[in-house]
Amino acid sequence: MSEESRHLGFDTKAVRLGYKPDVSNNYSLMPPIGLSSTFQQDDPSTHRGFLYVRQNNPSRQILEKGFALLEDAKYSLCFSSGTSAISAVVQLLNTGDHIVSSEVIFGGTYRYFDEITGRVGITTTYVDARDPENVENALQANTKLVFLETPSNPLLSLCDIARIAEIVHRAPGILFAVDNTFLTSYYQRPLDMGADISVYSATKYLNGHTDVCMGAMCFNDDNLLPRLRYLQNNAGIGPSPFDCYLVYRSLKTLPVRLRHHMKNGLKVAQFLESHPLVTKVLCPWLPSHPQHELAKRQASGYTSMISFYVNGDLQQTSALLKKFRLINMAGSLGGVESLAEIPSVLSHASFPVGDRARLGITDNLVRLSVGLEDVDDIIADLDQALRSTLL
């Protein structure tokens, strides 16, 4: 990152993303999409910077530079999905190594840790990472990775990133990775608080238009770059040039979208908290959240993820979602449109039934990603669905 870019505001960085029109791109204000799958060489054993699209391509390269700029990181790499990004981090480990993970994580991440890494002899201990001491007590001699989600999916609990980073880095050789998908680098900076790697499902808020599947990570360690780039290439988990173009385009409006998401999300959370048919609302930016002070300390704002409980069973909660007229009943999150799901039967169905019950991922829990529609329309849709289903 240039010194000039380092001192720019986030909005300016997002619009410019480190790109400069010049003769190499015909002075285009937007970088051309590099769809070529292969590149002409100087001679049989050398190339001019790009050789084959799986290894790297101009569209991916400029997106990775943009991600790094927004995170104030030295490096960023993009992947074909958020799960691919996480898999690359895990593939830095070896058979016999150990992972400490927060117990409330995305169901796909849990499935990857529990089933895929387990088959190659990498074990995982899940802890309530709201208390940093639980992370410390779970560390073993063979622990090589601590992986946390904060805010967590779907319960929106928090981990004290700076405190846990201090604990993890007392022991040599342990990587500390934070899934920052729910807040993005606009609102939360894990690397600044001591994390080694920040991981993203760029499918969500970073792209924000529900039309791309992609993952990303940012880091500062020079030694990690060749190892992770090797995995990106040789595991075949890089994204396509066209997807890189779409996400690059979306990053230009990231701060504008997130400010609107936060505005809508808070209004919806406050409405739900006052609704007689809602028994509990989970949103770290509400004063009622038990970790509200931590949220304010380690994040500069919030997006639009809300989870809430209703007084009903699975049948009644399912009926509630079917009553929505504006809100879409669908998985995923972070798009311009509002999305709702029941985690116990969709995003977190891979969790054992007993664990779901113990953690509070019950059949009456709804996860809501508040979109950019008129907030009064979103609230009206929630109200009519709640009253027509649960009264």
Q: How far apart are CA 345 and CA 353, in angstroms?
A: 10
Centre a 10 Å sphere on the Cβ of residue 111 and count the other Cβ atoms it contains: 16
Q: pLDDT band at 3, cuts 50/70/90?
A: low
Least confident of 38-47, 144-153, 158-167: 38-47
Q: How far apart are CA 368 and CA 268, in angstroms?
A: 10
Closest CA to 177 of 198, 160, 193: 198
Helix (H), strand (E) at residue 145: strand 143-149
Task: State the pTM of this model.
Answer: 0.95
Q: What is the pLDDT of residues 316-336, one digit of tens each?
A: 999 999 999 999 999 999 999
Say yes or no to pLDDT of 1 above 60.
Answer: no
* Bond into 241 cis (ω within 30): no
Say yes or no to pLDDT of 33 above 70.
Answer: yes
Average pLDDT value for residue range 7-31: 91
Domains of the chain: 3-251 (3.40.640.10), 254-390 (3.90.1150.10)
Least confident of 33-47, 186-200, 351-365: 33-47
Say yes or no to pLDDT of 5 above 80.
Answer: no
Say yes or no to pLDDT of 367 above 70.
Answer: yes
Least confident of 5-9, 29-33, 344-348: 5-9
pLDDT for the residue numbered 197: 99
Say yes or no to pLDDT of 123 above 70.
Answer: yes
Q: pLDDT band at 201, cuts 50/70/90?
A: very high
pLDDT for the residue numbered 128: 99
Tokens of 378: 């979103």
pLDDT for the residue numbered 2: 58
pLDDT for the residue numbered 4: 62
Say yes or no to pLDDT of 391 above 90.
Answer: no
Q: Identify which has the larger pLDDT, 83 or 30.
A: 83
Q: Identify which has the larger pLDDT, 318 or 3.
A: 318
Average pLDDT value for residue range 2-9: 75
> Any bridge partners for residue 124, and if so which?
99
Q: What is the pLDDT of residues 230-247, one digit of tens each?
A: 999 999 999 999 999 999
Q: What is the pLDDT of residues 247-262, one digit of tens each?
A: 999 999 999 999 999 9
Average pLDDT value for residue range 102-122: 96
Average pLDDT value for residue range 341-358: 96
Tokens of 193: 């608080």
Q: How far apart are CA 187 and CA 205, in angstroms?
A: 12
What value does the mean pLDDT of the chain take? 96
